[in-house]
Amino acid sequence: MARNAEMAARIEAAAGAGPLTFVVAGDSGAWPDPTADAILAALLGQAAALSPAFFANLGDFAGPGTRERHAHYLRLVEALPCPDVCVVGNHDLDDPGGRAVWTAVHGPVEFTFAAGHTRFVALDAAPRETPAGTEGPGDAALAYLDRTLAAADEPHRVVLMHCPPHAGGRFAPHPQWGFSSREREFLGLLREHRVGLVCCAHALFFDTWMQEGTRFVVSGGGGTALCSHFRGVCAPGEGVPADRGALFHAVALTIGADGAVGGRVLQAFDAPGRARIAFG
C-alpha cells in the first residue's frame, strides 16, 4: 500500500464524532538544509504535544524530489505519534524523476480520506509558470475534486494543496505565489460543494482570509525560508501582525461538529500550547 493510502486508512480508523484537530505546515525542505530540518523537528514536537488526528505536510518537503530526499523526510517524521500525509509541491518535482519517485513512495498525487464529519481532498497544485500566469491544479485535478466532493457524504469539506489561488494579488510583491490559471473554475467548485477550508503553502509566510464562505490558510513557514517583504515577529505591538506575517510555524486547525473552523499558529521553538496568532 502506498504511504498516503496507509496514513489515510489510519486516520479514518481512529476518527471520532467530536471536534477534529489536525496540524498543517509546508515548505519545510525545498532543498537540503540542516537548519530547516531543525525547525521542522521543533514544529513536529509542538504538533505532537496537541495529540492531533494527523499532520499534513503541504509540499516542498523533499526537494528536489529524489528517493534519498524522501527517505530523509520520512526519517524526520517517523517519531510522530499521529499519522502524517504528504501533499506534492513544485520543488518535490524538480528532479527529472521526481514524479515517478513521488508515486512510488506516496502513491497518487490526488487522494482523499474522511476524518469523522469531514472529507479531505488532496490535490496536485504544484505551480507551473507560463506566459499566461501561474498554473495551479490542472483540469484532471479539478475533475478529481469535483467528483470526489460530489460523492462525499460528510457535511464538512477541506482541500489540501500546495499553491494557493491568486486571490486578487494578495501576495504582492509576489503575485506569482498564487495561481491565476483556472482560479475561477477552482473557486466555483469550492462554492458548489460547500468547502469550508482550504489549506495551502508555497507563499513563504502565514496568512489567512475568508472568501465567499471559505476559510483559506497559507502555511509556508515550515523551515525552508521566509519572505523578507512581510513583517513577522519583529512587528511592533502585542499580537501584531494579527492576521499574517513571516515566521517559521505550523498551524493547528480545529473543525467543530457544526463546521466552525478555528486555528492557532504554532511558532517554532515557542512554549508548548502557546499561540500568539489565533483565528476563527
Q: Which residues, 6 or more positions from 214, have their beta carbon under 8 angstroms from its beta carbon?
A: 190, 191, 195, 196, 197, 198
Query: If you search the block for the grid coordinates 523526510, which residue do you land on?
Result: 73
SS3 (DSSP) at 119: strand
For residue 230, what pLDDT is reported?
A: 73
**Distance from C-alpha of 121 to C-alpha of 200, rounded to nearest angstrom:** 12
Average pLDDT, 10 consecutive residues per value, the chain (280 residues): 95 89 98 97 96 98 98 97 98 98 98 97 95 92 98 98 96 93 97 98 95 97 89 54 77 97 95 85
For residue 238, what pLDDT is reported?
A: 53
For residue 232, what pLDDT is reported?
A: 56
Strand bridging mode 111-115 / 84-86: unpaired
Asked whether the whole model's pTM tops 0.85, one would answer yes
**Distance from C-alpha of 11 to C-alpha of 62, rounded to nearest angstrom:** 23
For residue 97, what pLDDT is reported?
A: 98
- Enumerate domains of the chain plus CATH numbers: 3-13+21-255 (3.60.21.10)
For residue 228, what pLDDT is reported?
A: 81
Cα Dmax for the chain: 50
Query: If you search the block for the grid coordinates 499566461, which residue do you land on?
Result: 132
For residue 89, what pLDDT is reported?
A: 98
